[in-house]
Structure 1
Amino acid sequence: MPRSLLIVLDSVGIGGAEDAESYGDAGSDTLGHIAQACAEGRGDREGLRQGPLRLPHMVELGLGLACEASTERMPPNLAPQGAVRGAWGYGVETSKGKDTPSGHWEIAGVPVSFDWGYFPNTMPAFPEKLTTELIARAKLPGILGNKHASGTSIVEEFGAEHLRTGKAICYTSIDSVLQIAAHEEFFGLERLYEVCRIGRELCDEYKIGRVIARPFFGTPETGFKRTGNRKDFSTPPPSDTILDVLAQAGRPIVTVGKIGDIFAHRSTGREIKPNGNDACLSAAIDAMRDLPDGGFVFANLVDFDSEFGHRRDIPGYASALEAFDRRMPEIQAALQPGDLVIITADHGNDPSWHGTDHTREHVPILGFGPQVEPGSIGRRESFADIGATILRHLGVAGYSVGRSWLTN
C-alpha cells in the first residue's frame, strides 16, 4: 500500500498572486528575490554562504520551472540543466488571508472562506475588554506592548521591564494573531502556556486564528533570545481536513513541527515537535522510514519564516534553503516503491520586502517518488489540490475538495 510525505517549507513563496495588490504585496517574490540577491552578492555573509543560490536537487525536480510558470521569469541559477525528474507546478491560494492556518488548512482541503479577525495597527491594539479579562483571569499585574511589533524587537524593548514587573508582553501583527512573550525561567513556561490558553478562549469572540506563546531567556546585559518552546493555540478547522479523513480511515499519521498546533491537535496522530528545520526534517525522514503501509507524514519547517523571512535576512534564508536542498537525497533514500513526496509552501515572506509580515504569493508544488511521473502539473487553482492528490495516492475516497493531478 502506498505512503506519502508532505513537507511545507514555511513561507517559500514563488511570486505575487493575482490578488497580491489588495494585500499590499504586488511584486513580492520570496524565492525569486532571494535568488536575484544571491546573484548580485547581496546574499553573501562571511562564514555562512557566498555566491549564487544553489538548490540543485530541487531544481532537478522542477523548482525553477515552477517559478517561471508563476512569474514568467526564471530566477538566476534555478534553470534545470538536464531532464527534470519531478512533477512540478504552482498553487494559487483561494483562502482569505496570507497566514499559516489559512495556507495549511487549504492544503489539507479546507479553504478559509470566512474573514479572520485582526487587531488594528494602533496603540493600544487590543480591545480593553480583552486585556482586562486576560489580566484578571491570568492573574497578571498587567501587560506590556499592546501593539503591532516584530517578536525580536518587542522583547528587546520590553524584556527588562517584564523582568522587573512580571507583566506579560502582548503584541500582534498583520496576521490574525495574539502573541504573548514571557521569560521562560522568570515567568515560567507552563504559566505562559496557561496564559495563552486563557487568551485563546478570549480571542474566539474576535475570530482570531492563533494565540502564540513566545518564551525567551536572557538578561538585559547579555540580551534576550527566543527559545524553541514556542506553542501555537489555534482555533480548529471548521470542517474535516485530510487528516480527519485519514484518521477515520484508520491510516497511520505522523505530524512534525507545528502541524499539531496548526490543526488544534485534531486527527494529528503521533506528534513530534523538535526545534529547528534540521531537527524537524530528521524527524520526518525517520518517521517515513518507519511508517506503516498506507501512512502519512505531514511536516512543517518553520525556520524559513520565523528566523529569516520575518527578520528580512536574505543570506540566512538562502543558507536555510541550501541546507534543506543538501538533505534531499536523504528523503529519497527513505522511500519505498509507491511512495509520494510533495514539497510545497503555505504563503510567502519575501525577505527583500518592506515591513516584517507575510506576503501573498503563489507556492511551489514539487512531487517525486520511485514511481511518480515527471512533468508539469500546471497551475493548480487551489492549494486543496495537494490534499486531494495525497488522498488519491493513498487510495482514500469520499472527499470532493480540490482536484488531484494523478491520473491513475
Structure 2
Amino acid sequence: MARAIVLVLDSFGIGHAPDADKFGDIGANTFAHLAEKHYQITGKKINLPHLTSMGLAEASFAAGNTTFPIEPYAVTKGAYGYAAELSSGKDTPSGHWEMTGVPVLFDWGYFTDKENAFPKTLMATINQKTGYAGMLGNCHASGTEIIARLGKEHIKTGLPICYTSADSVFQVAAHEEHFGLDNLYAYCEMVRTLLDDYNIGRVIARPFVGNSAEDFIRTGNRRDYSVLPPSPTVLDKMVNADGHVISVGKIADIFAHQGISEKTKATGIDALVDATISHIQSARTNSIIFTNLVNFDQDYGHRRDPLGYAQALEAFDKRLPDIIDAMTDDDILYMTADHGCDPTWQGSDHTREFVPMIAYHHNIGDVNLGQRNSFADLGQTLAEMFSLEALDYGQSFYQQLSKNE
C-alpha cells in the first residue's frame, strides 16, 4: 500500500493568479523575482537541479508567462503543473484547507485599520478575561519589526505585544523568559475563544528571546490556534478510513489538530526535512506525511529577503535526494505551496499567485499537468490514491502519475 509525502513550500508562488487584480497583486511572482535578484546580486543563476528536473522551471515559466535566470536542466522524472486558488483569501489556512479539498468560499474577518487595529470593546474584553491591564502594539506590523520596537517595553511592563496583518489573524508576541511560554499559550487560548464573532482565522503565539532590539529573535515555539475547516478534509477521510496522517511542523495547528494521527514539531528547514525523512523511514503503509516548510515564508518572504529566499531554495534542493532515497517504490512525493509572498513586492504580506503542483515517484516519466483550477486537485488526487470517498472540489491527476519512463 502506498504512502504520500506532501511538502508545502510555504509562500512559494510562481506568478500572479488570474484574480490577482482583486488583491493588488498583478505582477507579483515570488520565484521569478527572487531568481532575478539572486542573479543581480551574485551574478549566478539560481541552481535547483532536482526541482528543475522534476519540471518546476517549466511549470513556473508557464504560470508566470515569462522566463528568468535559472540553471537549465532537462525534465526527466516528474509531473508538473501550476494551480490557482479558489478560496476568497490568500492566507495560510485557506491555502492548506483548499489543498486538502475544502476551499474557503466565505469571507474571513479582518482587522483592517493599520493603527488602533483592534476594536476597543474587544481589547477591554481580552484584558478583563486574561487579567492583564492592557496590551502593546494594537497595529499592523511585521513580527520581527514589532519585537525590535516594543520588546524592551514589553519586558518592562509585562504587557503582551498584540498585532495583526492583512491576513485574518491576531498575533501575540511575548518573551519566553520574562512573560513565560505557558502564559503566552494560555493568553492566546483565551483570545481564541473571544474571536468567533469576528470570524478571525487564527491566533498565533509568537515567542521570542534576547535582551535588546539588536538580539531579540523569535523561537521555534510558535503555536497557531485555528478554527476548524468548514467541512471534512481528505485528512479527516483518511483517518476515518483507518489511515494514518502525520503532521510535521505547523500542519496540525492549521487544521486545529483534526484529521491528524501523529505530530512532530521542528525548527528550521533542515530540521523539518530531517523529521520528514525519519517518518518516511518508519511510517506504516496507508499514510500521509504532511510537512509545512514555514521558513520560506516567515524568514524570507515576509522579511522581504529575496537573496536569502533563493539560497534557502538551493539548500532545500540539495536535500531532495535524501527524501527521494528514503522513499519506497510505492511512495509518491507531492510538492506545492499555500500562497505567494513575493519578497520584492510592496509591504510584507502574502501575494495572490499560482503555486507549483509537482509530483514524483521512482518510476514516473515527464508528465505535464498544465494549469489546475484549484489547489483542491491535490486533495482529490490523494483521495483517489487512497481509495477514499471523493471530495466536493478538485480534479484528480492521479491517473496521470502512472506514466512510466
Report the TM-score when normalising by structure 2. 0.96
In 2, the alpha carbon distance for the partners of 1:367 and 1:374 equals: 10
Please say which of residues 220-229 and 358-367 is displaced more in the overlay: 220-229
Question: Are positions 1:68 and 2:36 aligned together?
Answer: no
Matched residue, 1:211: 203
1:174-225 Cα distance to aligned partner (Å, 9 max, x none):
0000000111110010100010011111111100000000111111275311
Matched residue, 1:276: 268
Please say which of residues 389-398 and 63-72 is displaced more in the overlay: 389-398
In 2, the alpha carbon distance for the partners of 1:189 and 1:12 equals: 30
Identical residues among aligned pairs (%):
47
Matched residue, 1:106: 98
- Do the aligned residues in 2 keep the contact of 1:340 with 1:372 (CA within 8 Å)? no
Question: Are positions 1:342 and 2:365 aligned together?
Answer: no
1:213-264 Cα distance to aligned partner (Å, 9 max, x none):
0111111275311111110000110100011000000002111000000000
Question: Are positions 1:57 and 2:60 aligned together?
Answer: no
Matched residue, 2:26: 26
1:126-160 Cα distance to aligned partner (Å, 9 max, x none):
01111111111111121011000111111111111
1:154-173 Cα distance to aligned partner (Å, 9 max, x none):
11111111111111100000
- Do the aligned residues in 2 keep the contact of 1:64 with 1:75 (CA within 8 Å)? no
Cα deviation for residue 83 of structure 1 reads 4.0
- Do the aligned residues in 1 keep the contact of 2:152 with 2:213 (CA within 8 Å)? no
- Do the aligned residues in 2 keep the contact of 1:109 with 1:388 (CA within 8 Å)? yes
Question: Are positions 1:187 and 2:203 aligned together?
Answer: no
Cα 1:116–1:33 shift into 2, 3 Å: same
- Do the aligned residues in 1 keep the contact of 2:55 with 2:75 (CA within 8 Å)? no
- Between the two proteins, the alignment pairs up a number of residues equal to 400
- Do the aligned residues in 1 keep the contact of 2:75 with 2:366 (CA within 8 Å)? no
In 2, the alpha carbon distance for the partners of 1:338 and 1:318 equals: 31
Q: Which amino acid in structure 2 is aligned with residue 66 of structure 1?
A: A
Q: Which amino acid in structure 2 is aligned with residue 186 of structure 1?
A: H
* Other structure's SS at 2:300 match: helix
1:380-402 Cα distance to aligned partner (Å, 9 max, x none):
10000011111212222343421
* Other structure's SS at 1:110 match: coil
Q: Which amino acid in structure 2 is aligned with residue 74 of structure 1?
A: T
Question: Are positions 1:37 and 2:29 aligned together?
Answer: no
Matched residue, 1:321: 313
- In the alignment, structure 1 segments of 5+ residues that lack a partner are 45-49
- Do the aligned residues in 2 keep the contact of 1:339 with 1:371 (CA within 8 Å)? no
Cα deviation for residue 364 of structure 1 reads 0.5
* Other structure's SS at 2:312 match: helix
Matched residue, 1:266: 258
- Do the aligned residues in 2 keep the contact of 1:65 with 1:79 (CA within 8 Å)? no
Cα deviation for residue 347 of structure 1 reads 0.3
In 2, the alpha carbon distance for the partners of 1:67 and 1:255 equals: 27
* Other structure's SS at 1:364 match: strand
Structure 2 counterpart of 1:351, from 333, 338, 343? 343
Matched residue, 1:12: 12
* Other structure's SS at 2:216 match: strand
- Do the aligned residues in 2 keep the contact of 1:126 with 1:146 (CA within 8 Å)? yes
- Do the aligned residues in 2 keep the contact of 1:124 with 1:146 (CA within 8 Å)? yes
Please say which of residues 249-258 and 220-229 is displaced more in the overlay: 220-229
Q: Which amino acid in structure 2 is aligned with residue 64 of structure 1?
A: A
Matched residue, 1:383: 375
